Structure 1
Amino acid sequence: MKRIFLIGYMGSGKTTLGKAFARAMQLQFIDLDWYIEERFHKTVQELFAERGENGFREIERNMLHEVGDFEDVLIAAGGGTPCFFDNMDYMNSVGDTVFLDVNPEVLFRRLKIAKAKRPLLADKTDDELMNVITSALQKRMDFYRQAKYTFNAERLESYEQIGESVKKLKLLLDK
């Protein structure tokens, strides 16, 4: 029975690496945000708008506990998930947690490309985007650092790099 939680800021590679690693290890892959959207038939943005951040975070915690009961699963948590309630303690108690550590410049490059798909970032200038990233990382780092493992996820730009990262992550978790 295996439970792995990937945590980190948006753009850190939780979905990219998570899908590839889950496939290689024959684990079910769950993106927590997608799971919430499927269960509530609404986007995360719609849930935020309707219920506010506190209401969304309650849903997120409940769904985290639900998927945290699954076996042989890799869960890509939302970027803010570890920072609320006892979510970090919970994930550490039921599985292995891996912080995908990526420097702000790499996050900036990835998120600049994906801005159109991320409503919270769509209207940001380059300077504003970098400020959002560095400010959020500063606030969240104490939570991210509570993960059992830290993994450098800066090399996920090609299938080859993703494959190498899958192998390195397997070695890290097999220790």
Structure 2
Amino acid sequence: MIRIFLTGYMGAGKTTLGKAFARALNVPFVDLDWYIEERFHKSIRELFTERGEASFRELERNMLHEVAEFEDVIVSTGGGTPCFFDNMEYMNGHGQTVFLDVHPDILFRRLRIATVQRPILQGKTDEELYAFIVDALAKRAPYYTQARYRFDGGHLESHRQIAESVQQLRKLLEV
């Protein structure tokens, strides 16, 4: 049975690599944020706004526990998922965990063009955005680094790089 959780900061490539990896292994791919949105028929932003962070994180945890029961699946978690409750420990106990580690410079470049889709980033100057990323990574590092595997997510810019990363990840996880 294959059950792999991809963790890391927003823009790390969890969805990009997760979809390609799932295709290569011929297993389903679940993006936890998309899963939550489908279940509740609301965007993550709406749920976060309506419920507040504490209630949203509880809901997120419950949905994580639900998808962690799926067999033969690749799960991309939300960037904050590992940082709440015992989520990291839970994922480690229910499958293989991979932290997609990406240098702040690369995250900045990726997220700078995605601020429209990510409300938390809107309105930030380049300097504010970079500082925001560096600060968030420092706060989340103690959780991300609990993953069993650390993988360089900085090389997901082309089809070739994604294919190479899939092969490297297959080798790392021996799947």
Compute the TM-score of the two structures, normalised by the length of structure 2: 0.98
2:53 pairs with 1:53 = yes
Q: Partner residue of 1:143?
A: 143
Task: Tell me by how many angstroms 1:120 deviates.
Answer: 1.1
Task: Tell me by how many angstroms 1:87 deviates.
Answer: 0.3
Structure 1: gaps (5+ residues): none
Runs of 4+ in structure 1 over 6 Å off: none
2:127 pairs with 1:124 = no
Q: Partner residue of 1:93?
A: 93
Hey, what's the Cα distance between the residues in 2 that align with 1:124 and 1:161?
30
SS in 1 for 2:121: coil
Q: Identity over the aligned pairs, expressed in percent?
A: 65
After the TM superposition, which residues 29-68 of structure 1 pair with which residues of structure 2 at under 5 Å, given as runs? 29-68=29-68
Q: Partner residue of 1:8?
A: 8
Hey, what's the Cα distance between the residues in 2 that align with 1:142 and 1:120?
22
Task: Tell me by how many angstroms 1:159 deviates.
Answer: 0.3
SS in 1 for 2:29: strand
User: Residue deviations 1:74-127, cap 9 Å, x none?
Assistant: 000000000000100000000000000000000000000111111111211101
Whichever residue aligns with residue 56 of structure 2, its letter is F
Whichever residue aligns with residue 158 of structure 1, its letter is S
**How many residue pairs were aligned?**
175
Hey, what's the Cα distance between the residues in 2 that align with 1:27 and 1:139?
33
Task: Tell me by how many angstroms 1:172 deviates.
Answer: 0.4
SS in 2 for 1:141: helix
Compute the TM-score of the two structures, normalised by the length of structure 1: 0.98
Q: CA RMSD in A?
A: 0.8
Q: Partner residue of 1:74?
A: 74
SS in 1 for 2:151: strand
SS in 2 for 1:30: strand
Hey, what's the Cα distance between the residues in 2 that align with 1:89 and 1:166?
25
